[in-house]
């Protein structure tokens, strides 16, 4: 009998008819208790008939209908009644007051070394196309582990859209076992039985893999996958033998993220990406009949709307048997231009939209208007909030989900603090409208652009591990000074 109805007693409060599914991990029940009492799972002691509930196993914790479950533990101290005081301005507020004033969204509770999962989810939510697809996702019976994971992701995204702390906690507790079922490697436990810390990049990859399997849609009369459309790019690859005269070998490769390898010479993201585009590899040469050195040159032939970049910060250290971390400072920009990494053919196709951006920027200079944040459509120097905007799509015709300019804006940063991938702490730093937020599990606080740019590494503070860039959209105010520019841009944009 996996489902039972029990009574939960916490202090003087009684909660009757609490439905428990013992097919799910105990952390799900603890998340339910959190929703009822406000006591964080890690602060709960749950007892029934003298037996204490563990986080990982029901073991001999037997539940039956109408059983009495005792919960011990205190929630965070209640805030004292606010004193009567004069109005505070934003500039004078501390982090907590600012969070309340800015309507800060919910985070996800840590169920025991699950910060890697929480940070991954918060970063992926910055893609509106993915968020909408998951909110609308309909679970199909017998869809396997990948389908169950996508269903759990859908429930989590819905809860984060306004379901409240309790709903978010319950959704996270259901998401964790679904992630473990789809990726058993992430379910490893430490010597004491607690969940082990996992690599956020591995979690990101597993979630993207499941989404790629389940999220399909028809675009322009053909079936396509949302992940491939919006996160997938392609490379033109050429291999040239350095030891013999052989005709170059050309091929095409797909990618869902780019890697920034960190060497002594790499100080900036762009140089780290560029160094990976030309590399030396060893492979069998048919001409020489042995392994030979080849120069592998890669150029991007399709840019996705959302560009994922991983800083390759971890390497295996045999002596300590850990994935040690490279702490080196590598700067990354809020706006990224990858034109130089593209093939000549793609560069030619990017030029019309790049010309449109240049025309608009020149017009802004002439009219003394800043183009900053024009992708939100609320230019700081445009006072009239009723102004309409002409939007120019960021994709090529018949290739929904690509980037047609090579320009990107930073949407999210997933950081790690610690010395190895199997320890430390992961946090998501996400841009929401015009503001940046730090999602440290269920603690969400506003941060500045300057704080985000300090995540480049160089010490024991949080340093960037994964970056998510979104398209830089062109939105032009429909005002008299931009009338001619709008006509030029429309004429210069392929239909």
Active site residues: 115, 425
Half-sphere exposure of 396 (CA within 13 A, CB side): 19
Q: Are strands 463-471 and 443-447 parallel, antiparallel or unpaired?
A: unpaired
Q: Where are the alpha helices (DSSP H) in 53-124?
A: 95-101, 115-124
* Angle, helix 144-160 to helix 115-124, in steps of 10 degrees: 70
Residues 6+ apart with CB under 8 A from 492: 352, 355, 356, 359
Q: Which of 257, 201, 197 lies closest to 227, judged by CA? A: 257
Task: Tell me if 415 sits within 8 A of 429, measured CB to CB.
Answer: yes
> First CA to last CA across the chain, in angstroms?
60
β partners of residue 391: 475
- Please report how many Cα atoms fall inside a 13 Å half-sphere around the Cα of residue 388, on the Cβ side: 5
The residue among 93, 36, 42 whose CA lies nearest residue 445 is 93
User: Which class for 276: exposed (0-12), middle (13-18), buried (19 or more C-beta within 10 A)?
Assistant: middle
Residue 69, Cα to own-chain centre: how many angstroms?
38
C-beta neighbour count of 60 within 10 angstroms: 8
CA distance 354 to 340: 13
Match 């392609």 to its residue by tokens. 234
- Other Cβ atoms within 10 Å of 72 Cβ, number: 14
Separation of alpha carbons 146 and 139, rounded Å: 11
């Amino acid at each position: 009998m996996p489902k039972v109805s029990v009574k939960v007693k916490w202090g003087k409060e009684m909660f009757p008819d609490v439905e428990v599914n013992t097919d799910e991990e105990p952390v799900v029940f603890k998340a339910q208790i959190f929703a009822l009492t406000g006591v964080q799972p890690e602060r709960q002691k749950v007892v029934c008939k003298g037996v204490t509930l563990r986080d990982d196993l029901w073991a001999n914790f037997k539940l039956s209908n109408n059983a009495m479950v005792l919960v011990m533990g205190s929630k965070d101290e209640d805030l004292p009644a606010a004193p009567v005081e004069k109005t505070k301005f934003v500039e004078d507020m501390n982090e907590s007051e600012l969070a309340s004033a800015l309507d800060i969204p919910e985070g996800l509770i840590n169920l025991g070394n699950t910060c890697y999962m929480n940070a991954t989810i918060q970063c992926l939510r910055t893609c509106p196309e993915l968020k909408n697809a998951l909110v609308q996702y309909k679970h199909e019976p017998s869809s396997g582990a990948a389908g169950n994971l996508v269903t759990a992701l859908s429930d989590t995204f819905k809860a984060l859209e306004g379901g409240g702390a309790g709903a978010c906690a319950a959704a996270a507790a259901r998401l964790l076992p679904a992630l473990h079922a789809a990726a058993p490697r992430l379910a490893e436990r430490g010597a004491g039985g607690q969940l082990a810390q996992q690599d956020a990049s591995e979690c990101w990859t597993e979630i993207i893999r499941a989404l790629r399997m389940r999220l399909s849609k028809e675009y322009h009369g053909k079936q396509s996958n949302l992940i491939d459309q919006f996160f997938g790019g392609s490379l033109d690859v050429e291999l040239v033998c350095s030891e013999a005269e052989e005709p170059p070998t050309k091929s095409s490769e797909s990618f869902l993220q780019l890697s920034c390898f960190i060497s002594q010479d790499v100080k900036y993201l762009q140089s780290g990406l560029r160094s990976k585009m030309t590399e030396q590899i060893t492979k069998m040469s048919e001409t020489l009949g042995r392994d030979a050195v080849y120069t592998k040159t890669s150029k991007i032939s399709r840019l996705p709307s959302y560009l994922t970049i991983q800083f390759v910060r971890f390497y295996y250290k045999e002596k300590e048997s850990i994935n040690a971390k490279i702490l080196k400072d590598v700067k990354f920009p809020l706006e990224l231009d990858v034109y130089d990494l593209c093939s000549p053919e793609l560069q030619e196709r990017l030029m019309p939209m790049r010309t449109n951006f240049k025309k608009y920027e020149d017009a802004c200079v002439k009219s003394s208007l800043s183009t900053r944040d024009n992708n939100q459509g609320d230019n700081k120097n445009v006072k009239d909030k009723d102004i309409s905007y002409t939007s120019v799509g960021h994709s090529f015709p018949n290739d929904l989900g690509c980037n047609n300019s090579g320009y990107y804006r930073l949407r999210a940063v997933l950081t790690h603090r610690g010395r190895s991938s199997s320890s430390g702490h992961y946090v998501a730093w996400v841009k929401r409208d015009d503001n940046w937020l730090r999602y440290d599990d269920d603690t969400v606080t506003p941060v500045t652009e300057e704080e985000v740019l300090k995540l480049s590494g160089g010490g024991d503070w949080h340093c960037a591990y994964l970056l998510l860039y979104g398209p830089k959209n062109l939105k032009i105010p429909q005002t008299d000074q931009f009338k001619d520019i709008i006509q030029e841009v429309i004429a210069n944009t392929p239909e």
